[in-house]
Amino acid sequence: MTDAELIEKLKADLGDQVEIANPARRRIFLKVAPQRLVAVTTRLRDAFGVVFLSTISGVDMGETFEILYHFSTPETDFNLRTEIPKGDPHVPSITPIIPGAILYEREVQEMFGLTVDNIPDGRRLLLSDDWPDGQYPLRKDWKHVRPAEVIPGGKS
């Protein structure tokens, strides 16, 4: 099935829940509201056979976070895009639908400081246990400051 045929099918199926863009061959971008994310993902899985999630990307857009879910099937790639406000960053978990999403959700949660609602396992994945709260490395306003070197026993 070509991209154009798939887009027709998507439009007929999902209607105005999504905004569809197709900037290149095999790259379909769907924009969806965060409240509709779970419903659209379920529909994509059941009707279009989208079972494989490559990864979840987060982008700090200033006032908002853009979260992209990169799915692919043998026919094409679906990139599901949703935007959430930085002031109240909540995104629903898709792990109940795609079990392989768990690590990517944990990663995006700790790196951007957003809350993935209903995540089955919300522990830290990459950051260390003594990482200070409220520090989210991939936000644009976060800058790395190298801590002062401490020599045990002091300098001699």
Partner 1 sequence: MKVQIPIGPQHPALKEPISLRMTVDGEVITDADIRLGYNHRGVEKVAEGRNYIQNLYLTERICGICSHSHSTCFAQGVEKLMELTPPKRGMYIRYLVSELERVHSHLLWLGVAGHEAGFDSFFMYVWRDREIVMDLLEMISGNRVHYAINTIGGVRRDLDAGQVATILEGIATLKKRSEYYLRIGATEPSFVARIAGVGFLPLERAIALCAVGPTARASGWPRDVRKEDPYAVYDELDFEVATADTCDVLGRVVVRVKEVLESYKICEQILKTLPPGDIACKAPRKAMPGEVVSRYEAPRGENIHYIKANGTDKPERLKVRAPTLGNYPATVEMLKKGFIADIPLIFAAIDPCICCAERAVTLVSSRTGEESVVRMSDLRRRALARTDNAPVKGNAVWPF
- Footprint of partner 1 (CB under 8 A): 23-24, 26-27, 51-55, 57-60, 68, 70, 72, 74, 77, 79, 98-104, 124-128, 137-138, 144
**Least gap, CB of 35 to partner 1 (angstroms):** 24
Cα-Cα-Cα-Cα dihedral sign, residues 10, 79, 102, 100 = positive
**Least gap, CB of 155 to partner 1 (angstroms):** 28
Please check whether residue 135 is in contact with residue 142, taking contact to mean a CB–CB distance below 8 angstroms. yes
**Least gap, CB of 61 to partner 1 (angstroms):** 9
What is each CA distance from 5 to 53, 72, 145, in whole angstroms? 22, 16, 51
